[in-house]
Protein backbone atom coordinates (compact mmCIF):
# COMPACT_ATOMS: atom_id res chain seq x y z
CA UNK A 1 0.00 0.00 0.00
CA UNK A 2 1.35 3.34 -1.00
CA UNK A 3 0.94 5.83 1.77
CA UNK A 4 2.21 9.32 1.25
CA UNK A 5 3.15 11.85 3.86
CA UNK A 6 3.58 15.37 2.66
CA UNK A 7 6.19 17.50 4.28
CA UNK A 8 5.16 19.60 7.28
CA UNK A 9 8.45 21.42 7.36
CA UNK A 10 7.02 24.52 5.68
CA UNK A 11 5.17 26.24 8.50
CA UNK A 12 2.49 28.58 7.19
CA UNK A 13 2.15 31.90 9.01
CA UNK A 14 -0.80 31.90 11.41
CA UNK A 15 -2.25 35.21 10.18
CA UNK A 16 -4.79 33.71 7.81
CA UNK A 17 -6.14 31.40 10.52
CA UNK A 18 -6.23 34.26 13.03
CA UNK A 19 -8.22 36.36 10.54
CA UNK A 20 -10.76 33.55 10.10
CA UNK A 21 -11.09 32.99 13.85
CA UNK A 22 -11.40 36.65 14.87
CA UNK A 23 -13.87 37.46 12.09
CA UNK A 24 -16.01 34.43 13.06
CA UNK A 25 -16.03 35.75 16.64
CA UNK A 26 -17.06 39.19 15.37
CA UNK A 27 -19.79 37.71 13.16
CA UNK A 28 -21.17 35.57 15.97
CA UNK A 29 -21.12 38.52 18.36
CA UNK A 30 -22.99 40.66 15.83
CA UNK A 31 -25.81 38.09 15.69
CA UNK A 32 -26.35 38.48 19.44
CA UNK A 33 -25.71 42.22 19.56
CA UNK A 34 -28.01 43.09 16.66
CA UNK A 35 -30.72 40.73 17.97
CA UNK A 36 -30.74 42.61 21.30
CA UNK A 37 -30.57 46.00 19.53
CA UNK A 38 -33.53 45.14 17.29
CA UNK A 39 -35.48 43.87 20.28
CA UNK A 40 -34.95 47.04 22.28
CA UNK A 41 -35.40 49.66 19.56
CA UNK A 42 -38.59 50.00 17.50
CA UNK A 43 -36.63 51.98 14.92
CA UNK A 44 -34.03 49.21 14.47
CA UNK A 45 -36.72 46.55 14.51
CA UNK A 46 -38.36 48.19 11.49
CA UNK A 47 -35.01 48.91 9.85
CA UNK A 48 -34.05 45.23 10.03
CA UNK A 49 -37.14 44.00 8.20
CA UNK A 50 -35.35 43.11 4.96
CA UNK A 51 -37.91 40.41 4.12
CA UNK A 52 -41.34 41.01 5.60
CA UNK A 53 -42.48 37.38 6.17
CA UNK A 54 -39.34 36.71 8.23
CA UNK A 55 -39.41 40.08 10.03
CA UNK A 56 -36.41 41.66 11.79
CA UNK A 57 -34.61 38.29 11.90
CA UNK A 58 -33.87 38.72 8.18
CA UNK A 59 -32.03 42.01 8.71
CA UNK A 60 -30.30 41.00 11.93
CA UNK A 61 -28.77 37.88 10.43
CA UNK A 62 -28.02 39.35 6.99
CA UNK A 63 -26.26 42.33 8.60
CA UNK A 64 -24.28 40.07 10.94
CA UNK A 65 -23.20 37.89 8.02
CA UNK A 66 -22.12 40.95 6.03
CA UNK A 67 -20.10 42.30 8.98
CA UNK A 68 -18.48 38.87 9.41
CA UNK A 69 -17.52 38.55 5.72
CA UNK A 70 -16.25 42.13 5.45
CA UNK A 71 -14.21 41.74 8.65
CA UNK A 72 -12.81 38.44 7.33
CA UNK A 73 -11.82 40.05 4.02
CA UNK A 74 -10.11 43.00 5.70
CA UNK A 75 -8.26 40.89 8.29
CA UNK A 76 -7.24 38.31 5.68
CA UNK A 77 -5.80 41.08 3.52
CA UNK A 78 -3.81 42.48 6.44
CA UNK A 79 -2.62 39.27 8.13
CA UNK A 80 -2.43 36.72 5.32
CA UNK A 81 1.35 36.53 5.22
CA UNK A 82 2.05 37.55 8.79
CA UNK A 83 2.59 35.76 12.08
CA UNK A 84 0.37 37.39 14.68
CA UNK A 85 -0.26 37.06 18.44
CA UNK A 86 -2.67 34.17 17.99
CA UNK A 87 -3.18 33.46 21.71
CA UNK A 88 -4.54 36.94 22.34
CA UNK A 89 -6.58 36.99 19.13
CA UNK A 90 -8.10 33.58 19.89
CA UNK A 91 -8.96 34.73 23.42
CA UNK A 92 -10.77 37.80 22.05
CA UNK A 93 -12.59 35.66 19.45
CA UNK A 94 -13.69 33.14 22.09
CA UNK A 95 -14.89 35.91 24.41
CA UNK A 96 -16.94 37.33 21.52
CA UNK A 97 -18.32 33.85 20.81
CA UNK A 98 -19.23 33.39 24.49
CA UNK A 99 -20.92 36.81 24.54
CA UNK A 100 -22.89 35.88 21.44
CA UNK A 101 -24.19 32.76 23.21
CA UNK A 102 -25.21 34.89 26.20
CA UNK A 103 -26.81 37.67 24.16
CA UNK A 104 -28.95 35.27 22.16
CA UNK A 105 -30.32 33.77 25.39
CA UNK A 106 -33.61 35.66 25.97
CA UNK A 107 -33.37 36.03 29.80
CA UNK A 108 -29.93 37.65 29.40
CA UNK A 109 -31.11 39.86 26.53
CA UNK A 110 -33.98 41.04 28.77
CA UNK A 111 -31.47 42.64 31.16
CA UNK A 112 -30.80 45.39 28.61
CA UNK B 1 -50.73 7.99 5.13
CA UNK B 2 -50.55 11.71 4.38
CA UNK B 3 -48.33 14.63 5.19
CA UNK B 4 -48.92 18.31 4.51
CA UNK B 5 -46.51 20.32 2.39
CA UNK B 6 -45.53 22.47 5.37
CA UNK B 7 -44.92 19.42 7.56
CA UNK B 8 -42.71 17.94 4.87
CA UNK B 9 -40.74 21.18 4.57
CA UNK B 10 -40.30 21.28 8.35
CA UNK B 11 -39.17 17.67 8.29
CA UNK B 12 -36.56 18.40 5.59
CA UNK B 13 -35.34 21.45 7.55
CA UNK B 14 -35.13 19.68 10.92
CA UNK B 15 -34.39 16.06 10.14
CA UNK B 16 -32.86 16.34 6.69
CA UNK B 17 -30.46 19.20 7.33
CA UNK B 18 -30.38 19.98 11.07
CA UNK B 19 -30.22 16.49 12.50
CA UNK B 20 -27.69 15.41 9.89
CA UNK B 21 -25.54 18.38 10.85
CA UNK B 22 -25.73 17.41 14.53
CA UNK B 23 -24.72 13.85 13.69
CA UNK B 24 -21.79 15.11 11.64
CA UNK B 25 -20.52 17.34 14.47
CA UNK B 26 -19.21 14.49 16.59
CA UNK B 27 -17.19 13.16 13.64
CA UNK B 28 -15.70 16.58 12.96
CA UNK B 29 -14.75 17.10 16.60
CA UNK B 30 -13.06 13.72 16.88
CA UNK B 31 -11.17 14.09 13.61
CA UNK B 32 -10.04 17.67 14.31
CA UNK B 33 -8.83 16.60 17.74
CA UNK B 34 -7.14 13.39 16.66
CA UNK B 35 -5.60 14.18 13.29
CA UNK B 36 -4.03 17.51 14.05
CA UNK B 37 -2.79 16.86 17.56
CA UNK B 38 0.85 17.96 17.82
CA UNK B 39 1.49 14.66 19.63
CA UNK B 40 0.07 12.62 16.74
CA UNK B 41 2.96 10.70 15.18
CA UNK B 42 1.06 8.94 12.40
CA UNK B 43 1.49 10.44 8.93
CA UNK B 44 -1.52 11.90 7.16
CA UNK B 45 -2.41 10.42 3.79
CA UNK B 46 -3.58 13.05 1.25
CA UNK B 47 -6.79 11.08 0.70
CA UNK B 48 -7.56 11.20 4.42
CA UNK B 49 -6.92 14.89 4.54
CA UNK B 50 -9.07 15.64 1.52
CA UNK B 51 -11.88 13.61 3.06
CA UNK B 52 -11.95 15.85 6.14
CA UNK B 53 -11.93 18.96 3.97
CA UNK B 54 -14.89 17.70 1.94
CA UNK B 55 -16.61 16.59 5.17
CA UNK B 56 -16.31 20.07 6.70
CA UNK B 57 -17.47 21.79 3.51
CA UNK B 58 -20.49 19.45 3.43
CA UNK B 59 -21.20 20.35 7.07
CA UNK B 60 -21.03 24.05 6.21
CA UNK B 61 -23.49 23.56 3.34
CA UNK B 62 -25.82 21.62 5.67
CA UNK B 63 -25.61 24.32 8.35
CA UNK B 64 -26.40 27.11 5.88
CA UNK B 65 -29.24 25.12 4.34
CA UNK B 66 -30.67 24.55 7.82
CA UNK B 67 -30.69 28.21 8.86
CA UNK B 68 -31.86 29.56 5.49
CA UNK B 69 -34.74 27.07 5.14
CA UNK B 70 -35.62 27.75 8.77
CA UNK B 71 -35.58 31.53 8.51
CA UNK B 72 -37.06 31.98 5.03
CA UNK B 73 -39.43 29.02 4.60
CA UNK B 74 -40.55 27.65 7.99
CA UNK B 75 -40.35 30.77 10.18
CA UNK B 76 -42.78 32.86 8.07
CA UNK B 77 -45.39 30.08 8.44
CA UNK B 78 -44.67 29.88 12.16
CA UNK B 79 -45.05 33.62 12.82
CA UNK B 80 -47.98 34.27 10.45
CA UNK B 81 -50.47 36.69 11.98
CA UNK B 82 -53.89 35.25 12.77
CA UNK B 83 -56.96 37.14 11.53
CA UNK B 84 -58.69 39.23 14.19
CA UNK B 85 -61.13 37.08 16.14
CA UNK B 86 -59.72 33.79 14.93
CA UNK B 87 -60.65 30.99 17.34
CA UNK B 88 -58.85 28.08 15.74
CA UNK B 89 -55.14 28.95 15.90
CA UNK B 90 -53.84 25.62 14.59
CA UNK B 91 -52.52 27.30 11.43
CA UNK B 92 -50.72 30.02 13.45
CA UNK B 93 -48.20 28.21 15.69
CA UNK B 94 -46.73 31.30 17.36
CA UNK B 95 -50.20 32.62 18.23
CA UNK B 96 -51.24 29.18 19.42
CA UNK B 97 -48.29 28.91 21.80
CA UNK B 98 -48.76 32.44 23.16
CA UNK B 99 -52.47 31.87 23.75
CA UNK B 100 -51.76 29.51 26.65
CA UNK B 101 -49.55 30.21 29.68
CA UNK B 102 -48.54 26.55 29.72
CA UNK B 103 -47.01 26.79 26.24
CA UNK B 104 -46.01 30.46 25.82
CA UNK B 105 -42.49 29.76 27.09
CA UNK B 106 -41.83 27.52 24.11
CA UNK B 107 -42.06 30.68 22.02
CA UNK B 108 -40.70 33.38 24.35
CA UNK B 109 -37.69 31.31 25.39
CA UNK B 110 -37.48 28.47 22.86
CA UNK B 111 -38.11 30.13 19.53
CA UNK B 112 -36.60 33.46 20.58
CA UNK B 113 -33.35 31.67 21.45
CA UNK B 114 -33.39 29.18 18.61
CA UNK B 115 -33.95 31.71 15.83
CA UNK B 116 -30.74 33.55 16.74
CA UNK B 117 -28.39 31.01 18.31
CA UNK B 118 -28.71 28.68 15.30
CA UNK B 119 -26.74 31.16 13.15
CA UNK B 120 -23.61 30.60 15.25
CA UNK B 121 -23.38 27.08 13.79
CA UNK B 122 -22.82 27.96 10.10
CA UNK B 123 -20.51 30.87 10.93
CA UNK B 124 -18.36 28.65 13.18
CA UNK B 125 -18.21 25.61 10.93
CA UNK B 126 -17.52 27.68 7.80
CA UNK B 127 -14.55 29.16 9.63
CA UNK B 128 -13.39 25.68 10.68
CA UNK B 129 -13.67 24.42 7.09
CA UNK B 130 -11.73 27.42 5.75
CA UNK B 131 -8.92 26.96 8.29
CA UNK B 132 -8.61 23.21 7.60
CA UNK B 133 -8.59 23.83 3.83
CA UNK B 134 -5.93 26.53 4.19
CA UNK B 135 -3.69 24.78 6.72
CA UNK B 136 -4.39 21.05 6.46
CA UNK B 137 -1.59 19.08 8.10
CA UNK B 138 0.10 22.36 8.98
CA UNK B 139 -2.39 22.60 11.85
CA UNK B 140 -0.08 20.24 13.75
CA UNK B 141 2.36 23.14 13.84
CA UNK B 142 -0.29 25.54 15.17
CA UNK B 143 -1.76 24.09 18.39
CA UNK B 144 -3.43 27.40 19.33
CA UNK B 145 -5.11 27.57 15.93
CA UNK B 146 -6.31 23.97 16.27
CA UNK B 147 -7.61 24.65 19.80
CA UNK B 148 -9.57 27.70 18.62
CA UNK B 149 -11.06 25.77 15.68
CA UNK B 150 -12.07 22.98 18.07
CA UNK B 151 -13.75 25.48 20.43
CA UNK B 152 -15.72 27.05 17.58
CA UNK B 153 -16.75 23.61 16.31
CA UNK B 154 -17.87 22.66 19.82
CA UNK B 155 -19.95 25.85 20.08
CA UNK B 156 -21.46 25.15 16.66
CA UNK B 157 -22.48 21.71 18.00
CA UNK B 158 -23.98 23.34 21.10
CA UNK B 159 -25.82 26.00 19.06
CA UNK B 160 -27.22 23.40 16.67
CA UNK B 161 -28.21 21.22 19.63
CA UNK B 162 -30.12 24.09 21.30
CA UNK B 163 -31.85 24.92 18.02
CA UNK B 164 -32.63 21.26 17.36
CA UNK B 165 -34.03 20.64 20.83
CA UNK B 166 -36.33 23.65 20.74
CA UNK B 167 -37.29 22.92 17.14
CA UNK B 168 -38.45 19.45 18.16
CA UNK B 169 -40.37 20.79 21.18
CA UNK B 170 -42.00 23.54 19.11
CA UNK B 171 -43.16 21.03 16.53
CA UNK B 172 -44.50 18.86 19.34
CA UNK B 173 -46.48 21.71 20.93
CA UNK B 174 -47.53 23.68 17.85
CA UNK B 175 -46.73 21.94 14.56
CA UNK B 176 -46.42 23.98 11.39
CA UNK B 177 -49.23 22.62 9.26
CA UNK B 178 -50.86 23.64 6.00
CA UNK B 179 -50.57 23.50 2.26
CA UNK B 180 -51.55 20.57 0.09
CA UNK B 181 -51.91 17.09 1.54
CA UNK B 182 -49.38 14.71 0.05
CA UNK B 183 -50.42 11.06 -0.13
CA UNK B 184 -47.49 8.86 0.84
CA UNK B 185 -49.28 5.51 0.81
CA UNK B 186 -52.74 4.02 1.16
CA UNK B 187 -53.76 2.44 4.44
CA UNK B 188 -55.12 -1.09 4.72
Q: Quick: pLDDT tens for A26-59.
A: 999 999 999 999 999 999 999 999 999 999 999 9
**Mutation site for A-interface testing, chosen from B41, B148, B159, B162 by largest number of A Cβ within 10 Å:** B148
Residue A33 lies in a domain: yes
What is the distance in angstroms between the Cα of B187 and the nearest Cα belonging to chain A? 37
Give the residue from B15, B118, B108, B115 showing the smallest Cα distance to B75.
B115
Can you give the residue range of the structural domain that contains A71? 16-109
Residue A4 lies in a domain: no
- Report the share of chain B in percent with pLDDT over 90: 79
Residue A83 lies in a domain: yes
pLDDT band at A6 (very low <50, low <70, confident <90, very high): very low
* Contact call for residues A104 and A29 (beta carbons, < 8 A): no
Among B120, B140, B144, select the one facing A90 at the smallest CB separation.
B144
Q: Average per-residue pLDDT in chain A?
A: 92
Residue A55 lies in a domain: yes
Q: Average per-residue pLDDT in chain B?
A: 93
What Cα–Cα distance (Å) separates residue B139 from each residue in A14, A94, B119, B136? 9, 19, 26, 6
pLDDT for B100 equals 94
Element (DSSP H or E) covering residue B48 = helix B46-69
**Helix pair angle (B143-173, A15-40), 10° resolution:** 30
The DSSP 8-state label assigned to residue B38 in this structure reads: T
Residue A65 lies in a domain: yes
Q: Is this model's pTM higher than 0.90 or not?
A: yes
Contacts of B120 in chain A (CB under 8 A): 28, 31, 97, 100-101, 104
Pairwise CA distance, residues A63 & B14, whole Å: 24
* Contact call for residues A36 and A105 (beta carbons, < 8 A): no
Q: Identify the bridge partners of residue B183 per DSSP, sorted by sequence position.
A: B2
Structurally, chain A folds into a number of domains equal to: 1
Pairwise CA distance, residues A12 & A81, whole Å: 8
If you measure CA to CA, which chain A residue comes closest to B109?
A106
Among A3, A8, A20, select the one facing B141 at the smallest CB separation.
A8
Residue A28 lies in a domain: yes
Enumerate residues 129 to 158 of chain B having a beta carbon within 8 A of any beta carbon in chain A: 130-131, 134-135, 137-138, 140-142, 144-145, 147-149, 151-152, 155, 158
Amino acid sequence: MKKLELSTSTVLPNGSGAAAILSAGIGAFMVGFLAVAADKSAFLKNLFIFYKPTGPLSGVTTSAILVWLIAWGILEGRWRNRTVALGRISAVALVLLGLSLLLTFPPVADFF
Amino acid sequence: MEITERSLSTLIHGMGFGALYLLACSGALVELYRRYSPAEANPLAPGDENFLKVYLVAMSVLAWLTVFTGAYIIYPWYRAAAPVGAVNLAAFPQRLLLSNAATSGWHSLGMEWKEHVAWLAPISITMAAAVVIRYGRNLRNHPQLRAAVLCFTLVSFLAAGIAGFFGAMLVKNAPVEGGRNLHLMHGE
